[in-house]
Amino acid sequence: MRARVLSADDLGLISTFDWVDHSRKVFLEGDSVYVPVLSGHSYDTCVPDRQRRGRGYQRLGDTILFHGRRPDSDDVADLMVREQPTCILFIPGHSGSLRIPAYEVIYGSPHEVLHRECGISYRLDPTKVMFSQGNRGEKQRMRSLISSSGKEERIADMFAGIGYFTLTAADAGGMVHAMELNPDSFGFLMKNIDENGLTEEIRAECGDCRDMLSGTYDRVIMGHFEATEYLDSALLHVAFGSVIHLHTLSPDEGDVRSILHEHGYDADISVHKVKKYAPQCWHCVMDLVIG
């Protein structure tokens, strides 16, 4: 591989150079950065090709997020050339019931980003709210269920966040009552409703969903790992034939049926795996068809 040798301080300038071969991997050695050079441009040295190690990352708009272990200098150098981000963040985890991100700035300055997924646009600041791309399949499943229901459903999204399921449900034809406790998330929810042209299909409120549920819903989305603790409240606003989508890390059909029976209901229950959350632990959704 033909390469130019730059200082590590020049990493932020790489995206402005027209001689960089973005199909190859940059690597660091000490304070020097070896940057691959396109054919026809001058170079400083030849070095063996190095294969990218496959370090996982998440891209939201022009920002790169690393989860798990902290990225090393080679990870950062590779991504600077491969993705040309304006910001790189390390997100070691999220805290509290509002799932607020802990973060470290690796490069650039955090800012609001625009992320597009499955026909929906999401505005968010990844240092203030979380966004899980692992939920993409579940969003598509919700779209299919709602669009094929044969009626205009009245839907409650009890933990709306920035609109993960709210926007998809409304875009699929539902009339959605979206509830969100975190003020930062709610602010982005309102932006995203407008961004996607869904102001007529969504009624959004900021506060505790237990205080805002009203009337009877055809479908209730409970996208929070502590959703079982809120099931009592949801069951006050359903009828026979309503569907509840209860997210959990520990699907316990016996516990759920006990709560249902206390309210005079039973249900057909099916469990769907969304994504691996940790070793031996899956993010699951329990579909409860109320009967």
Over residues 4-14, the pLDDT tens digits come to 887 777 777 77
**Can you tell me the mean pLDDT for 117-137?**
89
Contact between 252 and 237 (Cβ < 8 Å) = no
87 and 170 co-located in one domain: no
pLDDT recorded at residue 224: 93
157 and 73 co-located in one domain: no
144 and 257 co-located in one domain: yes
pLDDT of residue 133 exceeding 80 = no
148 and 281 co-located in one domain: yes
Indicate the pLDDT class of residue 53, thresholds 50, 70 and 90: low
Tell which wins on pLDDT, 237 or 130: 237
92 and 152 co-located in one domain: no
Q: Tell me what percent of the residues of the chain surpass a pLDDT of 90.
A: 63
The backbone torsions φ and ψ at residue 170, rounded to the nearest 5 degrees and listed phi first, read -70, -40
Model confidence pTM above 0.85: no
* Domain-located, residue 118: no
Distance CA 128, CA 35 (A): 34
Contact between 126 and 65 (Cβ < 8 Å) = yes
Quote the distance between the C-alpha of residue 2 and its chain's center: 38
pLDDT of residue 96 exceeding 80 = no
pLDDT recorded at residue 54: 56
19 and 84 co-located in one domain: yes
72 and 136 co-located in one domain: no
* Domain-located, residue 117: no
* Domain-located, residue 123: no
pLDDT recorded at residue 95: 78
Domain ranges, residue 54: 2-111
161 and 95 co-located in one domain: no
pLDDT recorded at residue 2: 81
109 burial type by CB count under 10 A (0-12 exposed, 13-18 middle, 19+ buried): exposed
180 and 208 co-located in one domain: yes
Residues whose CB is less than 8 angstroms from the CB of residue 9 and which lie 6 or more positions away in sequence, other chains included:
none
**Can you tell me the mean pLDDT for 268-289?**
91
102 and 136 co-located in one domain: no
| Count: domains in the chain | 2
